[in-house]
């Protein structure tokens, strides 16, 4: 750690992890858990060894594995169907969660003495407890918010010795009904500041007047004085364009703050001819806040922000920068194949880019605050965000969670809404309304610029519940919004906070309860669900509905509705857990993008059905489509806007083609061909060059193809992976919602022709070679440059 104004270093490396509980008594004296004396150690027993040990002992401890954060221990385990073993269908996806411990030795240089040192956690599952050098520092319940602990006084500086941090993570309980993972699953940071410093999440930037010619930007900066003396300071804020760094505004102010107190400095800057932020033009500025004392820079903090206006209108729906902007959203949980919830930034970026390619312009972080990285990426890549609080709770703990979400996230231009709850049992009751109103009041105080919302599924008409938020979220409620919302409450602001729940399994065309598969024709959707085309055509017909958030963009572990064990993952996604598109992905793309497309389902390998009638569905945004079976026209049909089309066709192997026309001119073509047998493996990395930072990731699509290179739609070949060079295989997957194969293995079966391998860069430049081998198939190599 070098002595600069502020340092914030990654604290992700060199941890040891132990799975299982260890009894640690509650500290009766400060530092008791530190085993300060041999006597205390003898009296208190072996547990002291993990809270306070010398370096050699630390390395040698049995039952402790070296890990790097982010870390989710669930995917390392086996699937079990036994709640008494701590395995739950929803929250744990039938994997064992339980309790785990993390510890790490670290040193703090002597020159840090006198500074304020904190450990900042982006997110830890469930209940966590932190000890530093045996001092019980804090406990936390709530796996989705970020938090920090001041550890200044209990550190050993320089020659005083090494430091040890111990974190207990108890993930036995659950906060949600989806897969939550287990562990320190987001980043940890070690931060050092002067005792006079900008507070945690201490800047708040809002554009108060926005026009083509200028934007007035209000910047509030909260200063903490953690020393006993009064301090005078100069605060300089410089606004730059993020790309290129051109300075566009600057303001300096002088102020002071009493000892052990805080103060907020307000500044107003003008940006001439501002570039507005939108998903199509995610233009970012950066405010660099500099704090000087007696002319010496003592703190510096950079806040990325964007300039835009948002408005919800009772008739026109959502307006972004003054223009009607229908929300094409997806709800998402945070996990992915291969890694669980320990998501490398590159994989979050990959998920978001896949959503954008589908035409999605908004992300609902269901049902909890996302990682800081996700919001940074939504700002950069361009996605609106419904930022969601975990639950309806106005207790001091609940309000603290809400507060930490809003303070942390309120500078992100991507965030347009604070969703305060999802489908709570107290919806529609007077007590629920009281709680919700308190939460709205807090949200308004912390951020007067964004509306609050609650994602309701029944409570929109009673108890005054809907009046407690600015915007009423209708989960599966387009019909409800139509009937109750519009007629009874013509002035109500409405949004389709959740819809569809269209359960399909990639590459499957018949429901199979035994295997836990749902047909891609959507014949096994839950009673509350509907096809996304129904949800979207509602929005197109009734703009006041504002938009929809389809449940979900991706399949996720847990919640295997409509099945249970042995099915272990959900079926709601437009894409599977690996990000491979299902057929319904193309329906969304047809509804949400202008790019002409025709997509046909099912696949065309049905040797047992020759001569029998097959239901073929076309997803298209063209005006008409003409089908050709082995070159013969089966006729042309006009397409109803926002609707799919069904055809009944007598099956014969060969080629089924659909030609789409717009204004009478051919605009797109979709095809299905009968493939040959599995012949070879094909590897397609999403990126062929990744950074040598020990973090970056390439996602490699593994396809089983026939001699002509067509993906064989039923192939389930077992593929072994061999990796050499400057990186490692960190996980595998195949999108099969009932697969009990481990995601942490070096092999995987394909599911309906596809599997996934995730390669993570090492810290040294070079290249990674992935070799994929399967009995009877031509093997394949992929090379990723690491630079
Ligand atoms: C909703 C709920 C989601 C998910 C979904 C499944 O009611 O908000 O979390 O459970 O149902 O259809």
Position 157 in a domain: yes
How close is the Cα of 754 to the center of ligand 1, in Å?
Answer: 28
Average pLDDT over residues 717-728: 98
Position 2 in a domain: no
Average pLDDT over residues 258-270: 98
* pLDDT given for residue 141 in this prediction: 93
* pLDDT given for residue 83 in this prediction: 72
Question: pTM of the predicted model, to two decimals?
Answer: 0.96
How close is the Cα of 336 to the center of ligand 1, in Å?
Answer: 18
Residue 200: give its domain's CATH number.
2.60.40.10
Ligand 1 pocket test: which of 90, 423, 454 has the largest number of ligand atoms within 8 Å of its C-beta? Answer: 423
* pLDDT given for residue 39 in this prediction: 39
How close is the Cα of 369 to the center of ligand 1, in Å?
Answer: 17
Ligand 1 pocket test: which of 425, 530, 551 has the largest number of ligand atoms within 8 Å of its C-beta? Answer: 551
Q: Kindly report, residue by residue over 560-585, the tens digit of the pLDDT.
A: 999 999 999 999 999 999 999 999 99
Q: Do 701 and 664 share a domain, yes or no?
A: no
Residue 60 has pLDDT above 90, yes or no: no
Q: Do 326 and 300 share a domain, yes or no?
A: no
Ligand 1 atom with least separation from CA of 423: 8
On whether the CB atoms of residues 530 and 537 are closer than 8 A, the answer is: no
Tell me whether residue 247 is exposed, middle or buried, using C-beta atoms within 10 angstroms of its C-beta: 0 to 12, 13 to 18, 19 or more.
exposed
Q: Do 669 and 696 share a domain, yes or no?
A: no
Position 445 in a domain: yes
Residue 45 has pLDDT above 50, yes or no: no
Residue with the nearest Cα to atom 3 of ligand 1?
551
Say which DSSP state 152 is in.
G
Ligand 1 pocket test: which of 367, 498, 553 has the largest number of ligand atoms within 8 Å of its C-beta? Answer: 498
How close is the Cα of 176 to the center of ligand 1, in Å?
Answer: 11
Q: Do 513 and 401 share a domain, yes or no?
A: yes
385: nearest Cα among 400, 366, 365: 365
Residue with the nearest Cα to atom 2 of ligand 1?
423
Q: Do 295 and 353 share a domain, yes or no?
A: no
How close is the Cα of 563 to the center of ligand 1, in Å?
Answer: 14
Position 274 in a domain: yes
Position 432 in a domain: yes
Q: Do 720 and 742 share a domain, yes or no?
A: yes
**What SS3 state is found at 430?**
helix
Q: What is the largest CA-CA distance in the chain?
A: 91
Cα radius of gyration rounded to whole Å, the chain:
28
The residues assigned a catalytic role are 423, 498
**What SS3 state is found at 292?**
strand
Question: How far is Cα 245 from Cα 285, in angstroms, rounded to an integer?
Answer: 9
* pLDDT given for residue 735 in this prediction: 98
* Number of Cα atoms under 13 Å in the Cβ half of residue 68: 10
Ligand 1 atom with least separation from CA of 501: 12
Position 687 in a domain: yes
* pLDDT given for residue 487 in this prediction: 81
Q: Do 325 and 281 share a domain, yes or no?
A: no
Position 597 in a domain: no
* pLDDT given for residue 709 in this prediction: 98
Q: Report the mean per-residue pLDDT for the chain.
A: 93
Q: Do 337 and 416 share a domain, yes or no?
A: yes
What band does 42 get if pLDDT is binned at 50, 70 and 90? very low
> In this predicted structure, which of 60-64, 144-148, 494-498, 591-595 has the lowest mean pLDDT?
60-64
C-alpha to C-alpha distances, 769 to 138, 724, 725, nearest whole angstrom = 44, 5, 6
Q: Kindly report, residue by residue over 468-502, the tens digit of the pLDDT.
A: 999 999 998 766 666 567 788 899 999 999 999 99
Ligand 1 atom with least separation from CA of 178: 9
Q: Kindly report, residue by residue over 396-438, the tens digit of the pLDDT.
A: 999 999 999 999 999 999 999 999 999 999 999 999 999 999 9
* pLDDT given for residue 591 in this prediction: 97
Average pLDDT over residues 251-279: 98
Say which DSSP state 26 is in.
P
Q: Do 171 and 207 share a domain, yes or no?
A: no
C-alpha to C-alpha distances, 55 to 7, 49, 161, nearest whole angstrom = 26, 11, 10
Position 598 in a domain: no
**What SS3 state is found at 557?**
strand
Question: How far is Cα 461 from Cα 15, in angstroms, rounded to an integer?
Answer: 51
Residue with the nearest Cα to atom 6 of ligand 1?
501
Domain end residue (candidates: 638, 673, 708): 673
Residue 430: give its domain's CATH number.
3.20.20.80
* pLDDT given for residue 28 in this prediction: 58
Ligand 1 atom with least separation from CA of 570: 6
Residues flanking ligand 1, CB < 6 Å: 367, 422-423, 457, 475, 498, 501, 526, 551, 559, 561
Ligand 1 atom with least separation from CA of 457: 7
Residue 162 has pLDDT above 90, yes or no: no
Q: Do 424 and 480 share a domain, yes or no?
A: yes
By percentage, how much of the chain surpasses pLDDT 70? 93
What band does 461 get if pLDDT is binned at 50, 70 and 90? confident
Q: Do 112 and 43 share a domain, yes or no?
A: yes
Ligand 1 atom with least separation from CA of 455: 8
Q: CB 534: neighbour CB atoms within 10 A?
A: 16
- In 412-510, where do the E strands start and end? 415-422, 452-456, 471-475, 494-500
Residue with the nearest Cα to atom 11 of ligand 1?
501
Residue 122 has pLDDT above 60, yes or no: yes
Domain end residue (candidates: 592, 623, 654): 592
How close is the Cα of 298 to the center of ligand 1, in Å?
Answer: 48
Ligand 1 atom with least separation from CA of 529: 12
Domain range for 106 is 7-190
Verify cis geometry, omega within 30 degrees of 0, for the bond prior to 367.
yes
Q: Do 463 and 587 share a domain, yes or no?
A: yes
C-alpha to C-alpha distances, 483 to 474, 486, 489, 495, nearest whole angstrom = 12, 6, 10, 14
3-state helix, strand, coil in the chain (%, to 5): 15, 40, 45
How close is the Cα of 568 to the center of ligand 1, in Å?
Answer: 16
Ligand 1 pocket test: which of 501, 553, 555, 561 has the largest number of ligand atoms within 8 Å of its C-beta? Answer: 501
Residue 247 has pLDDT above 70, yes or no: yes
User: What kind and span of H or E run contains 216?
Assistant: strand 214-225
Domain end residue (candidates: 161, 190, 219): 190
Q: How many domains does the chain have?
A: 5
Ligand 1 atom with least separation from CA of 476: 7
Buried b vs exposed e over 333-345: b needs ≥16 C-beta within 10 Å?
bbbbbbbbbbbbb
What band does 43 get if pLDDT is binned at 50, 70 and 90? very low
How close is the Cα of 178 to the center of ligand 1, in Å?
Answer: 9
On whether the CB atoms of residues 154 and 118 are closer than 8 A, the answer is: no
* pLDDT given for residue 642 in this prediction: 86
Q: Kindly report, residue by residue over 343-392, the tens digit of the pLDDT.
A: 999 999 999 999 999 999 999 999 999 999 999 999 999 999 999 999 99
363: nearest Cα among 392, 325, 334, 337: 334
How close is the Cα of 213 to the center of ligand 1, in Å?
Answer: 45
How close is the Cα of 636 to the center of ligand 1, in Å?
Answer: 39
Residue 49 has pLDDT above 80, yes or no: no
């Amino acid at each position: 750690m070098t002595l600069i104004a502020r340092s914030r270093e990654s604290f992700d490396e060199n941890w040891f992890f132990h799975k299982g509980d260890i009894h640690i008594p509650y500290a009766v004296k400060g530092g008791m858990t530190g085993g300060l004396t041999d006597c205390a150690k003898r009296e208190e027993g072996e547990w002291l060894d993990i809270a306070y040990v010398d370096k050699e002992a630390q390395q040698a401890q049995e039952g402790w594995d070296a890990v790097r954060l982010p870390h989710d221990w669930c995917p390392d385990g086996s699937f079990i169907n036994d709640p008494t073993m701590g395995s739950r269908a929803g929250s744990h996806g039938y994997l064992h969660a339980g309790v785990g411990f993390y510890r790490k030795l670290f040193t703090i240089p002597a020159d840090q003495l006198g500074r304020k040192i904190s450990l900042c956690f982006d997110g830890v599952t469930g209940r966590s407890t932190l000890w530093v050098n045996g001092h019980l520092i804090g406990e936390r319940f709530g796996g989705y918010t970020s938090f920090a602990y001041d550890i200044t006084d209990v550190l050993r500086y320089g020659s005083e010795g090494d430091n040890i941090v111990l974190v207990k993570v108890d993930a036995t309980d659950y906060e949600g009904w989806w897969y939550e993972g287990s562990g320190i699953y987001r980043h940890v940071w070690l931060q050092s500041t002067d005792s006079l410093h900008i507070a945690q999440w201490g800047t708040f930037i809002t554009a108060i007047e926005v026009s083509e010619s200028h934007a007035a930007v209000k910047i509030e900066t909260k200063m903490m004085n953690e020393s006993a003396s009064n301090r005078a300071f100069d605060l300089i804020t410089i606004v730059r364009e993020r790309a290129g760094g051109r300075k566009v505004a600057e303001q300096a102010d002088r102020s002071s703050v009493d000892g052990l107190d805080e103060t907020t400095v307000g500044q107003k800057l003008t940006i001439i001819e501002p570039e507005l932020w939108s998903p199509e033009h995610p233009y970012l500025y950066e405010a660099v806040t500099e704090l000087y004392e007696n002319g010496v820079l003592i703190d510096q903090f950079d806040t990325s922000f964007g300039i835009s206006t948002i408005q919800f209108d009772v008739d026109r729906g959502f307006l972004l920068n003054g223009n009607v902007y229908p929300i094409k959203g997806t709800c998402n949980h945070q996990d992915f194949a291969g890694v669980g919830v320990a998501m490398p930034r590159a994989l979050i970026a990959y998920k978001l880019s896949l959503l954008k390619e589908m035409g999605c312009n908004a992300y609902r972080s269901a049902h909890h605050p996302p990682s800081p990285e996700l919001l940074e990426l939504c700002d950069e890549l361009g996605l609106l965000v419904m930022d969601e609080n975990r639950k309806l709770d106005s207790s001091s703990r609940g309000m603290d969670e809400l507060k930490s979400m809003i303070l942390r996230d309120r500078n992100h231009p991507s965030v347009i809404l604070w969703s305060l709850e999802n489908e709570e049992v107290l919806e529609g009751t007077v007590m629920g309304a009281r709680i919700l109103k308190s939460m709205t009041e807090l949200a308004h105080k912390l951020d007067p610029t964004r509306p609050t919302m609650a994602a309701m599924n029944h409570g929109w008409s009673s108890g005054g519940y809907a009046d407690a938020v600015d915007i009423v979220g209708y989960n599966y409620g387009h019909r409800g919004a139509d009937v109750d919302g519009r007629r009874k409450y013509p002035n109500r602001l409405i949004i389709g906070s959740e819809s569809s729940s269209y359960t399909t399994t990639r590459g499957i065309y018949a429901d199979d309860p035994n295997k836990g598969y749902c047909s891609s024709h959507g014949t096994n959707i839950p009673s509350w669900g509907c096809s996304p085309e129904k949800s979207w055509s509602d929005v197109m017909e009734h703009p006041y509905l504002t938009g929809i958030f389809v449940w979900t963009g991706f399949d996720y572990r847990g919640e295997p509705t409509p099945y249970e064990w042995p099915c272990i993952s959900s079926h709601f996604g437009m894409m599977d857990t690996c990000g491979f598109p299902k057929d319904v992905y193309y329906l969304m793309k047809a509804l949400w993008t202008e790019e002409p497309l025709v997509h046909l389902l099912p696949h065309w390998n049905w040797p047992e059905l020759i001569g029998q009638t097959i239901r073929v569905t076309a997803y298209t945004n063209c005006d008409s489509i003409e089908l050709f079976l082995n070159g013969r026209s089966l006729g042309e049909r006009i397409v109803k806007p926002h609707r799919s089309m069904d055809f009944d066709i007598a099956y014969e192997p060969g080629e089924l083609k659909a030609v789409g026309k717009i204004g009478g001119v051919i605009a797109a073509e979709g095809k299905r061909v009968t493939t040959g047998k599995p012949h070879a493996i094909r590897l397609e990395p999403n990126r062929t060059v990744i950074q040598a930072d020990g973090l970056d990731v390439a996602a490699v699509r593994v396809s089983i193809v026939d001699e002509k290179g067509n993906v064989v739609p039923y192939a389930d070949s077992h593929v072994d992976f061999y990796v050499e060079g400057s990186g490692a295989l960190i996980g595998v997957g195949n999108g099969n919602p009932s697969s009990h194969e481990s995601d942490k293995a070096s092999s995987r079966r394909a599911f309906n022709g596809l599997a996934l391998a995730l390669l993570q860069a090492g810290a040294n430049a070079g290249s990674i070679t992935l070799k994929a081998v399967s009995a009877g198939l031509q093997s394949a190599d992929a090379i990723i440059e690491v630079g």
